[in-house]
Homo-oligomer: A and B are copies of this chain.
Amino acid sequence: MKASQQVELFDTTLRDGAQTAGIAFSVEDKMRIANRLAEFGMDWIEGGWPGASPKDDLFFAQMKNRNWPNSRLVAFGSTARPGHAASKDRGLNNLVESGADAACIFGKSWDIHATKALGITLEQNLELVSESVAYLKQRLDYVMFDAEHFFDGYRASPDYAIKVLKAAADGGADALVLCDTNGGSVPSYLFDVVREVVARFPDKIIGIHAHNDSELAVSNTISAVQAGARHVQGTVNGIGERCGNANLISVIPILKLKLGIDCDVSDVELQQLSSLSRFVNEMANRLPWQHQPFVGQNAFAHKGGIHVSAIRKQSSLYEHIDPALVGNEQRVMVSDQAGRSNILSKLQLLEPEAGLAADDPVVAEAVTRIKELEAAGYAFEGADASFQLLLRRAMGRFRRHFELVRFRVYDEKRGHHDMPEAEATVQVRVGGKLVHSAALGNGPVNAMDKALRAALVDVYPGLSAMQLSDFKVRVLSTKQATEAMVRVLIESSDGHRKWSTVGVSTDVLEAAYRALNDAIEYKLVMDQVPPPDEQDRQSSS
């Protein structure tokens, strides 16, 4: 039995999170996520709705041989269909047979939903709740009741909303979960309601399930805990239908680090938070939310020179927590406000054993080069990989893996409605050899990207795993726009890492080429592929 101050974590990434527009988990994805959540130590992992789709059925079937020391699998469903005996209800029996450790079923707690959406009387709805829970409770160890629209229902009719909870409690529900289904409640109201429910059901675990339609889901979840809730539902990164669910990636560190409320996540597990967040983004095939609280790339990124010198004196001056606690890290961004201290800390990170000091000539050289490039329109704050290559050059620690001899791009469009045709040819010198390649693309940058990688992939087969994941173009000066300098930012990935590079030119294609060039060089450096002549030497030895 849990102590009264402890909160249990219920993850619904695989059920409510899977409702997110644009997300489609495969069965394999779901299994990988479930196991990762168990590894992290979530108390409850809701896997899906057995019977609702073949995918969820297959998932539950596959999960029967799970081996989780600290987590329990939950099957989601609803109260029985009105007019059916609970014991004969196909939906409820699907839950029983799913192999899950527990069931979580939702029922109506807003009077108008019972009468309008289900079309039954208020009394019939109470029986439905009570009988459905009671049947499940005969067959399963643990049953949770999700009171759908509880806060709207309580506003409309507090008596009826409480009666619904009482029906679930009478049926034997172990936990009563209050759902802010439409996401419209504000924390002050929600706090009062939860406190009232906690007082009325002192023997039950009271839970909270919040949606983010008012950008208040995390706060509502925290308020509910402060009002006595001991069970918290949410998803990794706050994914979910419409505006998403409560984001457990924020809720967990707030509970643990700010409120000192135990949620059975150890310090070591907490350090996995950033990595868990990124893992789910990868599975969901989603761009990371760079500004994400606690775990985002920019969550501890510092731009201004004043901040940076203060941070070197004492981190807590400008950071609300130590980023290492959640597995994140401080990031000093280079911008036109950047001072020497920014660059020194970057160099020290890159080459810790070099023992660089602020007055080292390498630092001065890097600062000069950065200032030149920034004056030419470069911006490195979104292009860490290009910046690292620059530092390596300043330290004399970089040699090209290939050299551009020429690129040519052709693009033609005939008539207003015709599809254009883009072709690129690239000549590069790699390890003394001249390679010439050509490619068609559905645009000139795409053609150039393809041609360049075609020229290099024989020598550097690792490049075949590389993909361009994002591409941004920005005009730098607004006078005579098409004559202006253009900055291209490219994000690449190889399935393990993501990195960003930048190129600047008056010519958008040249700028794209420069960013592509850096993207490839960075990949080769990270993979520790030696430059060609060293490679020749090694292969001949």
Contacts and interface: CB of A to CB of B under 8 A. Distances in A.
Interface of A: 19-22, 24, 26-28, 53, 112-113, 116-117, 149, 181-184, 186-188, 212-216, 218-219, 222-223, 226, 241-244, 247, 250, 253-254, 258-259, 285, 287, 290-294, 296, 298-304, 306, 310, 313-314, 317-321, 333, 336, 379, 381-382, 403-416, 420, 422, 441-446, 448-449, 467-475, 477-484, 486, 489-491, 505-510, 512-513
A513 B468 contact: no
A472 B470 contact: no
A411 B413 contact: no
A521 to B, nearest CB: 12
B482 A475 contact: no
29 contacts: A19-B304, A22-B290, A22-B381, A24-B474, A53-B336, A113-B310, A116-B310, A116-B313, A116-B317, A117-B317, A182-B319, A213-B294, A214-B250, A214-B254, A214-B258, A241-B301, A241-B303, A242-B300, A243-B293, A404-B413, A411-B507, A413-B509, A420-B505, A420-B510, A443-B508, A444-B507, A444-B508, A470-B475, A481-B491
B299 A242 contact: yes
A508 B218 contact: no
B21 A509 contact: no
Contact of A482 (B214, B247, B416, B445): B445
Contacts of A484: 471
Contacts of A415: 404-406
Nearest to A188: B226
Q: Which of A320, A422, A512 gathers most chain B CB within 10 Å? A: A320
Given A219-B219, A243-B291, A382-B22, A320 B187 contact: no
A118 B33 CA distance: 48
Contacts of A482: 441, 443, 445-446, 448-449, 468, 471, 512
Contacts of A117: 306, 310, 313, 317
A35 to B, nearest CB: 16
Contacts of A410: 408-410
Given A241-B303, A407-B413, 14 more contacts: A21-B298, A21-B333, A214-B254, A214-B320, A215-B250, A242-B299, A242-B300, A409-B411, A410-B410, A411-B507, A420-B507, A446-B482, A468-B482, A472-B474
A483 B310 contact: no
A232 to B, nearest CB: 14
A150 to B, nearest CB: 14
Contacts of A241: 301, 303-304
A509 B258 contact: no
Nearest to A510: B420
Given A19-B304, A222-B187, A480-B468, A404 B381 contact: no
Contacts of A446: 482-483, 506
Nearest to A416: B404
B475 A481 contact: no
Contact of A411 (B405, B467, B473, B509): B509
A321 B243 contact: no
Contacts of A304: 19, 241
Contacts of A481: 468-471, 490-491
Contacts of A381: 21-22
B301 A21 contact: yes
A381 B21 CA distance: 7
Contacts of A407: 412-413
A296 B243 contact: yes
B186 A285 contact: no
A244 to B, nearest CB: 5
A361 to B, nearest CB: 24
Contacts of A222: 186-187, 216
A443 B184 contact: no
Contacts of A306: 117
A241 B508 CA distance: 28
Contact of A422 (B336, B379, B507): B507
The 6 nearest A-B residue pairs measured at CB: A184-B320, A219-B219, A473-B473, A443-B507, A471-B481, A446-B482
Contact of A215 (B218, B290, B313, B405): B218
A481 B299 CA distance: 25
Contacts of A480: 467-469
Given A443-B507, A467-B480, A413 B242 contact: no
A441 B483 contact: yes
Contacts of A254: 186, 214, 216
B443 A215 contact: no
A508 B508 contact: yes
A300 B442 CA distance: 34
A478 B443 contact: no
Given A214-B293, A482-B449, A19 B303 contact: yes
Nearest to A118: B310
Contacts of A320: 182-184, 213-214
